[in-house]
Chains A and B, each alone.
Chain A
Amino acid sequence: MRAILLFCFLIIGCSRSSAQELRIEASYEYLYSVQLDKAIQTYNFSRPFLAEKQPLLVNGIGTSISYVFKNANHFKHGISLTYTYFRSSAENDFFNNTLNLHFAKIGYILHYGNTEKWKGFYSDLTFSATSSIILRNVNGEPFVYDETSSKALGIGGQLQLKFGHYFHLKNTSYLSPFISFGYTPYLYCPNDEAVINQTKGVVGDNWTSTATGQVGVAFHIRKPTND
């Protein structure tokens, strides 16, 4: 919560000072994580009594808000706040098991684009601090044991490369479809296995890496500038 408030203050501050572009994005995200896959695969392997298998955490949706600061040259920098959500649900008789995976990221953006040669194109390199949480629902209710919700927290860092193209809508607003690839080399998440497979140390380590691919669209509001 404090991070969100801090971010809002940053946005307002930037807007009143030197910020150039506000961006709001919506995207589809594809997730690949060996460790999470293995935990779910082991869960499925070990529970033949569940006919409906737990799907891997693969498809997610995301949204992001970011600000790019004003700069005279083609390199700019900015900040972003991103949220993505993945879900895996298996419905069996009397036992519906759902895993909800949430990612929240605060990132620093290096923006390059809109050059004479590549008019309208842009690319972003984003370094993000990533936090994740996996929550388990059983039969539609949060799974609680020992009076505590079953949850696994994670923390790590992500590198993301994004390519997009601006299309002018009207006045200072633009739309850009984009594609991006993200890689989180180290996501420390010691309890993921405890939530997914209800074990610790059977499936693997306390950390994982993730790779993501995104397609989405961004809505931009720019202050008038020379570029």
Chain B
Amino acid sequence: MNRRDFFKQTTLFSIGGLLIPSAFIESCRKEALFDEINYGGKVIIIGAGAAGLYAAYILKSKGINFQILEASSKYGGRLGKLTGFANFPIDLGAQWLHGQNNIVADLTRKSRTQITLDDSTEKYWFNNQLVTSLPKDILSLFNREDNLPDTSFKDFALQEGFGNEYKYIVEGIAGDSGAAASQISAYWKVKEEENWNSGDDDFKFQESYFDLIDKEIASSVNDKILLNTIVSKIDYSESQIIITDANANTYTADKVIVTVPISILKSGDIQFVPALPVDKTVAFSKIGMGAGMKVFLKFSNTFFDQNIIGGTICAAYADDSIGKAQSDNVLLAFVMGEQAEYLTALGSDAAITTALLQELDLMYNGQASATFIASHVQNWTSNPFVKGAYSYSTVGMGDARRIATQSISKKLYFAGEAMNINGHHQTVHGAVETGYREVINILNDLNK
């Protein structure tokens, strides 16, 4: 064999030796998650919030038959928009995009949606005066990653020497996580968020969060939404799942994705036949869902600071015009936990507004009442299809969220912000992730 032949053979051997195994691997290798999606069954999605809408959006993109049953008269779940109150759209529900490293942020980039970093500053209502900083650093207390006990924020703060003067500061911190300080676990909050990778910066929408989901997602599936359809029973005892609504109408499906808030699952508003396994219902009960409301107060001038933490009536106020194109003077009272329960018990929007104005008058020497124009109360707790703000990590929670998420009999699937087990619960992008995750789970189960 001469050198030329040898070189030729060696080259052929080398290329062939690589390409044959490569071709074999390539033939096994899939560009898509699923080779082919030929599912002729029907999927019914209960709830038209972010998770339900996104699950529907994915199903539509894969050509799978679906329908959405929504209890209320509008879609969006805990996303909502109020127009006409101010010269910019008001976010009635979720309003911050939490971080830029997530699927919703990708959607904002693709759709060129205007978002602005919320770098507003805070003042604290502490010992009956507004201060720019606190004597002791309590903010980092709950962000510690080690030696956190499974006790409530309230008890943990007391253990660490933060006395009664910090009570409403702690309520404000807990309220940011949708809970009363006496309910949320210092340990499980950090533990559950250890996979958080979305980013720490918060962004506000120039329009509204609802607009983004409405224009980019809901608009392609809203013809499949049945509004005012209150699901009362899901019978999955037979091969076909039968869903019954409050008007005794029935709907059949092969798979059901339940995306209702955890409060609805906890309260038993939906009857499952057969009953859900005990470990499932116990898991539901361990996931917290606190009271929450947003009150928008419009004034003739801006006498207030960008954020006020530690009020005794409302532990967190925020200037709602930040990040908006227009600048009417709207202050958001972000009321959570026991404070939301207290204000709800006052019985009327007028009483709630009065209580908040009195507190602001105390902080700002009567300027609130003097410049007050109008208010709008969005009480998510009194909404019968929501019954609260968002899920939180309770004391003794354990892996409740993981158990709650597991599908049942390859028929029932669970999505929604409370069902996010990768640290993104409480967020819209977390809900969206569960929406596509459950479609993947359905398709995986079909392929098994």
- B25-37 CB contact bits vs A (8 Å, 1 = yes)? 1000111111000
Across the interface, name the chain B residue whose C-beta is closest to A139.
B109
Contacts of B107 in A (CB 8 A): 47, 49
Contacts of B100 in A (CB 8 A): 145
CB pair B436 A213 closer than 8 Å: no
A1-58: which have CB < 8 Å to B? 30, 32, 37-38, 41-42, 44-50, 53, 55-56
- CB within 8 Å for A201 and B58 given contacts A46-B436, A94-B109: no
Stretch at the interface among A67-75, A99-107, A192-200: A192-200
CB pair A45 B32 closer than 8 Å: yes
A69-91: which have CB < 8 Å to B? none
Contacts of B348 in A (CB 8 A): none
CB pair B199 A146 closer than 8 Å: yes
CB pair B433 A56 closer than 8 Å: no
Within the complex, what minimum Cβ distance (angstroms) separates A54 from chain B? 10
Distance in angstroms between the alpha carbons of A202 and B423 in the assembled complex: 10
Contacts of A95 in B (CB 8 A): 106, 109-110
CB pair B423 A30 closer than 8 Å: no
- B210-240 CB contact bits vs A (8 Å, 1 = yes)? 0000001000000000000000000000000
B12-28: which have CB < 8 Å to A? 13-15, 17-18, 21-22, 25
B375-421: which have CB < 8 Å to A? 421
Contacts of B21 in A (CB 8 A): 181, 213
CB pair B14 A94 closer than 8 Å: no
Within the complex, what minimum Cβ distance (angstroms) separates A135 from chain B? 13
Q: Give which listed residue, B17, B101, B200, B436, contacts A198 with CB less than 8 A.
A: B101
CB pair A56 B29 closer than 8 Å: yes
CB pair A194 B101 closer than 8 Å: yes
Distance in angstroms between the alpha carbons of A64 and B112 in the assembled complex: 43
CB pair B106 A215 closer than 8 Å: no
Contacts of A92 in B (CB 8 A): 110
B111-138: which have CB < 8 Å to A? 111-112
Distance in angstroms between the alpha carbons of A152 and B306 in the assembled complex: 36
Within the complex, what minimum Cβ distance (angstroms) separates A60 from chain B? 13
- The interface centre, meaning the residue of A145, A199, A201 with most chain B CB atoms within 10 A of its CB, is A199
Contacts of B447 in A (CB 8 A): none
A123 within 8 A of B: no
B164 within 8 A of A: no
Across the interface, name the chain B residue whose C-beta is closest to A211.
B25
A136-154: which have CB < 8 Å to B? 138-139, 143, 145-146, 150
Contacts of A32 in B (CB 8 A): 25, 29
CB pair A199 B109 closer than 8 Å: no
Instruction: Please count how many residues in chain A sit with their CB below 8 Å of the partner chain's CB atoms.
Output: 46
CB pair A145 B33 closer than 8 Å: no
B165 within 8 A of A: no
Distance in angstroms between the alpha carbons of A179 and B19 in the assembled complex: 10
B422 within 8 A of A: yes
Q: Give which listed residue, A46, A49, A94, A194, contacts B197 with CB less than 8 A.
A: A194
Within the complex, what minimum Cβ distance (angstroms) separates B147 from chain A? 23
B201 within 8 A of A: yes
CB pair A30 B33 closer than 8 Å: no
CB pair B436 A45 closer than 8 Å: yes
A162-180: which have CB < 8 Å to B? 163, 165, 167, 177-179
- CB within 8 Å for A179 and B440 given contacts A194-B101, A199-B422: no
B103 within 8 A of A: yes
Contacts of A47 in B (CB 8 A): 103, 106-107
Contacts of A139 in B (CB 8 A): 109
B39 within 8 A of A: no
CB pair B109 A198 closer than 8 Å: no
B205 within 8 A of A: no
Within the complex, what minimum Cβ distance (angstroms) separates B192 from chain A? 11
A191 within 8 A of B: yes
B11 within 8 A of A: yes
A119-139: which have CB < 8 Å to B? 120, 138-139
Across the interface, name the chain A residue whose C-beta is closest to B437.
A202
Within the complex, what minimum Cβ distance (angstroms) separates B80 from chain A? 22
CB pair A41 B33 closer than 8 Å: yes
CB pair B112 A94 closer than 8 Å: yes
Distance in angstroms between the alpha carbons of A198 and B195 in the assembled complex: 11
Contacts of A98 in B (CB 8 A): none
- CB within 8 Å for A215 and B110 given contacts A53-B31, A202-B437: no
CB pair B29 A177 closer than 8 Å: no
A208 within 8 A of B: no
CB pair B101 A45 closer than 8 Å: no
Distance in angstroms between the alpha carbons of A199 and B112 in the assembled complex: 22
Within the complex, what minimum Cβ distance (angstroms) separates A146 from chain B? 5
Across the interface, name the chain A residue whose C-beta is closest to B15.
A215
Contacts of A50 in B (CB 8 A): 106, 110
- A183-212 CB contact bits vs B (8 Å, 1 = yes)? 000000001001000111110000000010
20 further interface pairs, Cβ-Cβ under 8 Å (given A94-B110, A95-B106): A30-B18, A42-B33, A44-B33, A45-B32, A47-B103, A47-B107, A53-B31, A56-B31, A138-B109, A146-B201, A150-B101, A167-B3, A177-B10, A178-B14, A179-B15, A198-B103, A198-B198, A199-B422, A200-B422, A201-B421
24 contacts between A and B (CB under 8 A): A30-B18, A30-B25, A32-B29, A37-B30, A38-B33, A41-B30, A41-B31, A45-B32, A45-B436, A45-B440, A46-B58, A46-B433, A46-B436, A49-B110, A53-B32, A94-B110, A120-B6, A143-B101, A145-B201, A167-B3, A191-B197, A194-B101, A198-B198, A215-B15
